[in-house]
């Protein structure tokens, strides 16, 4: 397991609204206490730490790695809107200072799935363009599909379109095992089918009825998935993005318990 590292994602705190948006240092501290070696903030959490010098100092102080930064945009048009391109280029300029950090792109879900094929093509064009500019700066990129009802890459057919159309020379795949299951697929089957594309991984749990569960309390077989990734030479991050209901009120507590679950059920059993 030496080449696989666990981190946590800031969406667990984002569920509380704006309460934690100015508290990334606090989130980093909780991640360290939970035993995570890295974290993945969404862009809106960076605030003053978008200054590379400040971020580097904070990483050294807290002894944690910046595993990835998640860029979420609409990407509804065949080309990036000016605002979208500006946002992406700001993140790329930041990540030039952190060459081991992944740029994880994710589309904001829509209200429906109308005009699906056109929207899917537009998303692909925009994401691949972002990845090409980032790759030119030495940055590794991965696209993260999601599963709300308005998501345009949600079902098995959607995934096959997406994963056969990413420009794999610059854009990898960031499978989220919970979102895959929510879309009616078996996460490990889909990950086996497209293993060469996997660059970054998100973990979240789900109950049998499709609601999000705290890690280890649902139906996702994290041990089997982690073993598969280890055995196939995966050397990236496993990022926990816990979206259980309790996280909205107690993201710190949920994260600390997730860290304990990983230590007792994954690391101790798989090393």
C-alpha separations of 152 from 12, 75, 140, 191, 266 in Å: 23, 11, 24, 19, 32
CA distance 86 to 158: 28
pLDDT, one tens digit per residue, over 200-236 is: 999 999 999 999 999 999 999 999 999 999 999 999 9
Token code pair at residue 181:
């299951």
How distant, in Å, are the alpha carbons of 71, 129, 132, 166 from that of 169? 19, 12, 9, 9
Higher model confidence: residue 195 or residue 3?
Answer: 195
Mean pLDDT score, 150-165: 98
Q: Classify 140 as helix, strand or coil.
A: coil
Whole-angstrom Cα distance, residue 231 to residue 7? 20
Q: Average pLDDT of 19-36?
A: 97
CA distance 205 to 192: 19
Q: How many residues does the chain have?
A: 271
Closest among 61, 44, 136 to 95, alpha carbons compared? 136
Q: What pLDDT, on a 0 to 100 scale, did the predictor assign at position 269?
A: 63
pLDDT at 270: 67
* pLDDT tens per residue across span 173-205: 999 999 999 999 999 999 999 999 999 999 999
Closest CA to 152 of 187, 179, 189: 179
**Does the pLDDT of residue 115 top 60, yes or no?**
yes
Confidence class for position 57, pLDDT limits 50, 70, 90: very high
Q: Which helix (H) or strand (E) holds 238?
A: strand 237-240
- pLDDT at residue number 268: 78
Quote the pLDDT of residue 98: 98
Burial 65-88 (b: 16+ CB within 10 A, else e): bbbbbbbbbbbbeeebeeebbebb
What's the pLDDT band for 3 if we cut at 50, 70, 90? Answer: confident
pLDDT the model gives residue 110: 97
Give tens-digit pLDDT for 245-261. Answer: 999 999 999 999 999 99
Which pTM value belongs to this model?
0.97
2 or 250: which carries more pLDDT confidence?
A: 250
For the chain, counts of helices (H) and of strands (E): 12, 11
CA-to-CA separations, 200 to 69, 113, 136, 144, 220, in angstroms, rounded: 11, 26, 19, 9, 18
Does residue 33 surpass a pLDDT of 80?
yes
Q: Looking at residues 71-100, what average pLDDT do you find?
A: 98
> Where is average pLDDT lowest: 87-91, 100-104, 218-222, 265-269?
265-269
| pLDDT value of position 28 | 98
Name all domains of the chain by residue range, CATH numbers in brackets: 5-270 (3.20.20.150)
Q: Is the pLDDT of residue 2 over 80?
A: no
Is the pLDDT reported for residue 271 higher than 60?
no
Element (H, E) at 131: helix 116-135
Span 149-161, average pLDDT: 98
Cβ atoms of residues 122 and 76 within 8 Å: yes
């Amino acid at each position: 397991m030496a080449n696989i590292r666990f981190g946590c994602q800031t969406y667990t705190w984002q569920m509380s609204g704006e309460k934690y948006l100015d508290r990334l240092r606090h989130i980093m501290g909780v991640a360290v206490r939970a035993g995570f070696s890295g974290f993945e903030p969404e862009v809106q959490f960076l605030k003053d730490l978008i200054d590379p010098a400040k971020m580097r100092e904070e990483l050294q102080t807290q002894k944690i790695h910046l595993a990835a930064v998640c860029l979420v945009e609409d990407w509804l048009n065949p080309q990036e809107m000016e605002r979208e391109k500006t946002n992406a280029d700001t993140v790329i300029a930041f990540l030039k200072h952190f060459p081991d950090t992944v740029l994880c792109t994710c589309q904001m879900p829509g209200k429906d799935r109308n005009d699906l094929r056109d929207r899917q093509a537009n998303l692909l064009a925009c994401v691949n363009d972002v990845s090409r500019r980032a790759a030119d700066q030495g940055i590794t990129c991965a696209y993260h599909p999601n599963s709300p009802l308005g998501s345009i890459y949600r079902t098995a057919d959607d995934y096959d379109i997406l994963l056969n159309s990413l420009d794999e020379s610059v854009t990898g795949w960031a499978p989220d095992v919970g979102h895959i299951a929510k879309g009616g697929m078996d996460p490990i089957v889909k990950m086996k089918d497209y293993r060469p594309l996997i660059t970054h991984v998100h973990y979240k749990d789900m109950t049998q009825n499709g609601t999000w569960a705290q890690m280890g309390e649902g139906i996702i077989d994290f041990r089997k998935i982690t073993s598969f990734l280890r055995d196939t030479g995966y050397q990236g991050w496993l990022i926990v993005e816990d979206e259980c209901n309790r996280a909205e009120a107690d993201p710190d507590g949920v994260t600390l318990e997730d860290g304990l679950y990983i230590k007792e059920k994954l690391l101790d059993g798989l090393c």
